[in-house]
Amino acid sequence: MKIVTDEKRLLGPGPCNVSERVRAALARPMLGHLDPDFLEVMETCKDRLRGVFRTRNAATFPVSGTGSAGMEFLLVNFVEPGDRVVVGVNGVFGSRMANLAEKIGAEVHRITAAWGEALPLDGLKAAIDEHKPKFFGLVNGETSTGVYQSVDGLAEAVHAHGGLFALDCVTSLAGMPVEIDARGIDLAFSGTQKCLACPPGLAPVTVSERAREALARRLRPVPSFYLDLNEILAYINGSGGRSYHHTAPISMVVALTEALAEVLEEGLEARWERHAEAARYLTAQFGKRGFTPLVAEGDRLHPLTTLRLPEGFDETAVRKRLLVEHGIEVGAGLGPLAGKIWRIGLMGHNARPEVVDELLAAFDSGTP
Ligand code: PLP
């Protein structure tokens, strides 16, 4: 087995590179999961997550599992068989959410747009008014296409019919505005390996009071042990009386707590601007090399840029060369966009012009 010790530059759809500070946190001595010192870390982690999500929701914490566990957590707790669900689908992750709701037995309505296009707000509002969903799900940053979905005015439409608005913030959180409370979002999940710049392994989630009231009105028990919100809360919230539910991934929680400190010290606005600037620079520089943006300017997901490839470009060979010769990873297209685009992630500490220059130098070194 090859043990990799040299750091690669991770410019794909995630994970991204992690700072020395987060790596050091990951390597701290092990604590017991009910040790008061760890409980303090967990409280700090929850507080910092509230800061990054911009929410006052008490139920804000990291689910043990990757981003998909966060998605599944929202669906198993807040969707029951027969519930009406509307999901915006314009890429892999909206499709995953809709399929999961179907597995639970919900009546699912998919509102679709072409891959690379945002879902029009008036179409989404019309679908909400027509179907009156109990659960309305959207992907804020569609990592398969590089689209950042606006959510303006949607919460009001969903709430008018008594529904819950759920947002996948895996690629947007800490890279672009999410603003849970200001936008009236009831439920959200993220992942640690994107703009939070932490290894993969946890799914930060937040649950509003409205959503918790809806949970209390469920007709059937939550069909999961591991992801049952009430069971998890008794474990991570019960001050003085925490009851064992599962063994929290201690080192990951410690690392995430440190990564969140980095985000909050920088400031969310400054971080969003840094991601925007790096993406603009990347797009302009690759434009000079024949790559064109897939997504219209106002709809671009800054942490993940999708670029159409120049005519006749051997994308597999060049990606391989970048990785093998330069230790730089960039992402390929998925589904209908396979072989047509590159997905270049400038997430967390990688959202800097120097990193783009590093990629360009490597790219140009093989161009005749
Ligand atoms: N949602 C989005 C938008 C994603 O980009 C991802 C992962 O890339 C996920 C959900 C699933 O997260 P994970 O792969 O960490 O399970």
CB-facing half-sphere around the CA of 73: CA atoms within 13 A: 34
- With a CB cutoff of 8 Å and minimum separation 6, the contacts of 119 are 88, 90, 111, 112, 113, 138, 149
Is the CB of 342 within 6 Å of ligand 1? no
Distance 108 CA to ligand 1 centre (A): 21
* 163, 130 contact by CB (below 8 A): no
Six-digit token string for 126? 């019309």
Number of Cβ within a 10 Å radius of residue 20: 7
At 236 the pLDDT is: 86
What SS3 class is residue 183?
coil
Reference 267, options 200, 184, 177, 204; nearest CA is 177
Distance (Å, whole) CA 202 – CA 308: 32
Is the CB of 115 within 6 Å of ligand 1? no
Atom of ligand 1 nearest to the CA of 141: 3
At 309 the pLDDT is: 98
Distance 22 CA to ligand 1 centre (A): 21
At 368 the pLDDT is: 55
At 79 the pLDDT is: 98
Which pTM value belongs to this model? Answer: 0.97
Is the CB of 192 within 6 Å of ligand 1? no
Ligand 1 pocket test: pick from 143, 145, 192, 301 the residue with the most ligand atoms within 8 Å of its Cβ: 143
Six-digit token string for 1? 């087995």
* 158, 133 contact by CB (below 8 A): yes
Atom of ligand 1 nearest to the CA of 191: 15
If you ran DSSP here, which 8-state letter would residue 35 be given? -
Residue-wise burial string across 166-203, b where 16 or more C-beta atoms lie within 10 A, e elsewhere: bbbbbbbbbbbebebeebbbbbbbbbbbbbbbbbebbb
Q: Work out the angle between the directed axes of helices 36-53 and 250-266 (0-180°, nearest 10).
A: 40
Per-residue pLDDT of the chain (368 residues), as tens digits, is 888 888 999 999 999 999 999 999 999 999 999 999 999 999 999 999 999 999 999 999 999 999 999 999 999 999 999 999 999 999 999 999 999 999 999 999 999 999 999 999 999 999 999 999 999 999 999 999 999 999 999 999 999 999 999 999 999 999 999 999 999 999 999 999 999 999 999 999 999 999 999 999 999 999 999 999 999 999 988 666 778 899 999 999 999 999 999 999 999 999 999 999 999 999 999 999 999 999 999 999 999 999 999 999 999 999 999 999 999 999 999 999 999 999 999 999 999 999 999 999 999 997 65
Is the CB of 57 within 6 Å of ligand 1? no
**Strand spans (E) along 289-359:** 292-293, 304-308, 328-332, 341-345
Distance 146 CA to ligand 1 centre (A): 13
For residue 249, whether the previous peptide bond is cis, meaning omega lies within 30 degrees of 0, is no
* 187, 211 contact by CB (below 8 A): yes
List the domains of the chain with CATH numbers. 9-14+267-365 (3.90.1150.10), 20-264 (3.40.640.10)
At 84 the pLDDT is: 98
Distance 63 CA to ligand 1 centre (A): 14
Six-digit token string for 274? 């840094």
